[in-house]
Chains A and B, each alone.
Chain A
Amino acid sequence: MTAEIAPAVRVMLVDDNPARAAMVEERLWGCGFEVSLVIPSAAGLLFQIERIRPDVVLIDLESPDRDVLESLAIISHHNPTPVVMFTQEDDPDYIRQAVTAGISTYLVGGINPDQVKPIIDVAIAQFRAFQSLRDELHSTRVQLEERKLIEQAKGLLMAHQKIGEDDAHRLLTKLAMDTNQRLPAVAKTVLATLSPKTSDKGKRST
């Protein structure tokens, strides 16, 4: 263990049951975690997360704050936080199914203090792996989209200037160098300038 060298993992615990919260908090400190904050539900979780930026949130499955946490993952502009959920429900089948179904986190049956550390460790590791996979997917998608843009711009240039593909590519590259922009950005400008106006597919106009 390198707990004394690495900075402690900062945990925020959201629990309405004070006795249990105290027990878990003690165990977390004992395991080398830093418990940044212990709050009951309905205590402004969102603002506390922004203020404290914990490494992981440990929350009761039955907390109304779950929608808040999810919204952070869905539309947040700051980094999503791994979440570990626990439940009083004595239903291993539910927990097993929930994990299999991909509820983004681990569920701790009855929040047994002895299990807290391994589960937090696994949840953080799993979260990081998932994040990097997602980042990778995102960058692949961006690359594909950029390539498509360039191909479309080339096509338009070929038709418009009556030139071949190589010349169109050279022209695009030159434009990019002259304007000190990346190729996809130039392609976008070319598309916007040369393509016939497409009708707006959006439903509403204000």
Chain B
Amino acid sequence: MTSNSQLAPPEKAAISVGFMRLTDSAPLIMALEGGTFARHGLDVTLVREVSWANLRDKLVVGKLDAAHLLSPLPMMTTLGAGGIRANMLTGLSLSLNGNALTLASALWDQLGLGDASRPAALATARALKGRLEREPGQPLTFATVHAFSTHSFQLRLWLKAGSIDPDRDVRIIVLPPEQMCDSLARGIIDGFCVGEPWSSVAVQQGIGVVAATGHDIWNNAPEKVLGVTEHWHNHHPATHLRLRLALMEACRELAEPARRREAAEVLSDPRYLDLPVRVLVPSLTGEFGFAKNQPPRWLADFLVFHRYQAGFPWRSHAQWLLREGCAMLGKPVGDDVCQALVQRCYRPDLYREAARHLGIASPSRDAKEENRHAAPWEFEPGITLGPDLMIGG
């Protein structure tokens, strides 16, 4: 462990960091409220944004210094697949998992799964296939919050596992997170895959039932990252390092259950998520409710900070996310382009630099096997990783 005096001074101490109204913004908010940024010599202003497009654009034009970002966005923005092209990178993954796939209660009742116990994600997907075959005249619409998000990819994986073609058999649209529950209640959409707390809101209102958690679909998927532009990183390496150090400490603290309860209180504040504590608790504590009249279940890995090397930006994750994003666009990328983009956008070297300062052991290789392990496993001596299976093989 090193003290801050051994670090280069920040090139810029007063910085703005963007976040969205989601429970996985906890590391940023807790680092600010707990004084962790200040201890690392940073005067951080958190800026709440209403759309990923706005967050990304402000990052690109330098209005924000860094941001809480969907894990595929560094690659997709560098590729120019969204509204704007800019070189973007991450040296720190903020969280694993945390999404849920929720169906409208009316649709859930048509699946014939009963409500006695929680069926497996594969069973819910197959039951949906049955419903589509029984009533082909009633097409279904699902929503996610962004095309290039783990939410989209997880929804598609789940549908495919149930032998449902995500491009032909159902309709997938993008809606702002705040509109999800209202659209579900009004029957405009039949289900959604989003980050928390929006599924918990639907469950507590009694308008939706969770058919699968993000973790059920892809164990320990990379969810949000700390995104910066390459240009900003090159001009502010010391500020960037201090930012990663503060957030890694905040993530490590958030691995403690007591800190999670505290986070639910803090995030509830009007300046942050501006939502009741009761809808933030399920995802943060892992006491997760799937349907209104069922007791919650304890899911240790519902939303992971720090554990299983959660902060490490695996290039194997980046590669999968990039390929999936391009496949969705119908424009597959070649191996060379893929490798070049992944190396540019996902920077494990930056993670290791910060981990060394904090005395945290980090993986020595940049990529790992995906879709192989059903239980926690040892990657290298002293480096334990979580399960990494994907639904449907």
Q: Which residues of A contact B (CB under 8 A)?
A: 41-42, 44, 46-47, 61-71, 73-75, 91, 94, 97-98, 101-104, 201, 203-206
In Å, the complex CA distance between A201 and B335 comes to: 10
Q: Mark B19-58, 1 if CB is under 8 A from A, else 0.
A: 0000000000000000000000000000000111110011
Q: What chain A residues lie within 8 Å of B174 (beta carbons)?
A: 46, 67-68, 70-71
Shortest CB-to-CB span from B276 to chain A, Å, is 19
Closest Cβ–Cβ distance, residue B204 to chain A (whole Å): 20
Residues in A neighbouring B182, C-beta threshold 8 A: 42
A68 near B175: Cβ-Cβ < 8 Å: yes
Q: Is B362 positioned at the interface, with any CB of A under 8 Å from its CB?
A: no
The size class of the interface chain B forms with chain A is 35 or more
Interface contact tally, CB-CB below 8 A: 94
**Cα distance A66–B370 when bound, in Å?**
33
Within 8 A of A (CB), among B345-393: 370-371, 390, 392-393
- What string of 1s and 0s marks CB contacts (under 8 Å) between B263-294 and chain A? 00000000000000000000000000000000
Which residues of chain B in 163-209 are interfacial with respect to chain A, using CB atoms and an 8 Å cutoff?
163, 173-179, 182-183, 188
User: Are the C-beta atoms of B53 and A66 separated by less than 8 Å?
Assistant: yes
A98 to B53, CA, bound (A): 12
List chain B residues, Cβ under 8 A from A70: 53, 82-83, 147, 174
Q: Check B84 for interface membership: any CB of A closer than 8 A.
A: yes
Task: Answer yes or no: B88 CB below 8 A from chain A CBs.
Answer: no
On B, residues with C-beta under 8 Å from A are 50-54, 57-58, 60-63, 81-86, 145-148, 160-161, 163, 173-179, 182-183, 188, 320, 323, 328-329, 335, 370-371, 390, 392-393
A residues near B148, Cβ cutoff 8 Å: 74
* Given contact pairs A47-B188, A74-B329, A101-B61, A63 touches B50 in the complex (Cβ within 8 A): yes
**Cross-chain contact B323 with A46 (CB below 8 angstroms):** no
Question: Is A74's CB under 8 angstroms from B81's CB?
Answer: yes
Does A101 contact B84, Cβ atoms closer than 8 Å? Answer: yes
Whether the Cβ atoms of A61 and B54 lie closer than 8 Å is yes
Could you tell me if B83 and A103 are in contact, using CB atoms closer than 8 angstroms?
A: yes
- Complex CA gap A32/B81 in Å reads 35
Q: By the criterion CB–CB under 8 Å, are B51 and A67 in contact?
A: yes
Shortest Cβ distance from residue B37 to the other chain A in the assembled complex, whole angstroms: 24
Nearest-neighbor residue (CB-CB) of A206 within chain B: B392
A71 vs B105: C-alpha distance when bound (angstroms): 27
Contacts of A46 in B (CB 8 A): 173-175
**What would 11 A/B residue contacts be, using CB atoms closer than 8 Å?**
A42-B179, A65-B51, A66-B50, A66-B53, A68-B174, A70-B83, A74-B81, A74-B82, A201-B335, A203-B320, A204-B392
Contact of A64 with B84 in the complex, beta carbons under 8 Å: no
Q: Are B147's CB and A74's CB within 8 A?
A: yes
Pick the most buried of A44, A74, A98: most chain B CB atoms within 10 A of its CB: A74
Q: Top 3 nearest A-B pairs by Cβ distance?
A: A64-B176, A71-B174, A66-B53
* Closest B residue, CB atoms, query A201: B335
A41 partner residues in chain B, CB cutoff 8 A:
176
Contact B51 A203 (CB under 8 A): no
Min CB gap A93→B, angstroms: 9
Least CB distance, B393 to chain A, in whole angstroms: 6
Closest-CB distance, A89 to chain B (whole angstroms): 9
Task: Check if B176 sits within 8 Å of A204, measured CB to CB.
Answer: no
CB distance from B173 to the nearest CB of A (A): 6
A101 vs B87: C-alpha distance when bound (angstroms): 12
Nearest opposing residue in chain B for A77, CB measure = B167
Assess the B175–A75 pair: CB atoms within 8 A: no
Give complex CA distance A98, B61 in Å.
Answer: 6
B173 contacts which of A62, A63, A71, A203 (Cβ < 8 Å)?
Answer: A71
Contact at B52–A67, with CB atoms within 8 Å? Answer: yes
- Closest-by-CB residue of B relative to A96 is B61
If A61-B54, A63-B50 touch, does A206 touch B179 (CB 8 Å cutoff)? no
| Docked-complex contact A205 and B393, CB < 8 angstroms | yes
B329–A75 CB distance below 8 A: yes
- How many angstroms from the CA of A205 to the CA of B371 in the assembled complex? 11
Q: Closest CB-CB distance, A152 to chain B, in whole Å? A: 16
B81, B83, B328, B392 — which one has the most chain A CB atoms within 10 A of its CB? B83
With CB as the reference atom, state the residue of chain A lying closest to B163: A206
Contact A71 B51 (CB under 8 A): no
Judging by beta carbons under 8 Å apart, are A64 and B370 in contact? no
In the bound complex, what is the Cα–Cα distance between A90 and B57 (angstroms)?
Answer: 16
Complex Cα distance, B329 from A74, in Å, reads 7
Instruction: Give the docked Cα–Cα distance between A61 and B58 (Å).
Output: 11
Residues from chain A with a CB closer than 8 A to the CB of B163 are: 206
Q: How far is the CA of A71 from the CA of B171 in the complex (A)?
A: 13
| Residue from B176, B177, B183, B335 having most chain A Cβ neighbours under 10 A | B176
Contact B54 A204 (CB under 8 A): no
Would you call B146 and A101 a contact (CB within 8 A)?
A: no
Answer whether A206 and B160 are a contact pair too, CB < 8 Å, given A44-B188, A103-B84.
yes
6 further A-B contacts with Cβ under 8 Å, apart from A98-B57, A101-B60, are: A64-B51, A64-B177, A67-B51, A67-B53, A70-B82, A71-B146
Closest to A73 in B: B83
Residues of A contacting B145 with CB < 8 Å?
A: 67
- The one of A42, A62, A201 in contact with B178, judged by C-beta atoms closer than 8 angstroms, is A42
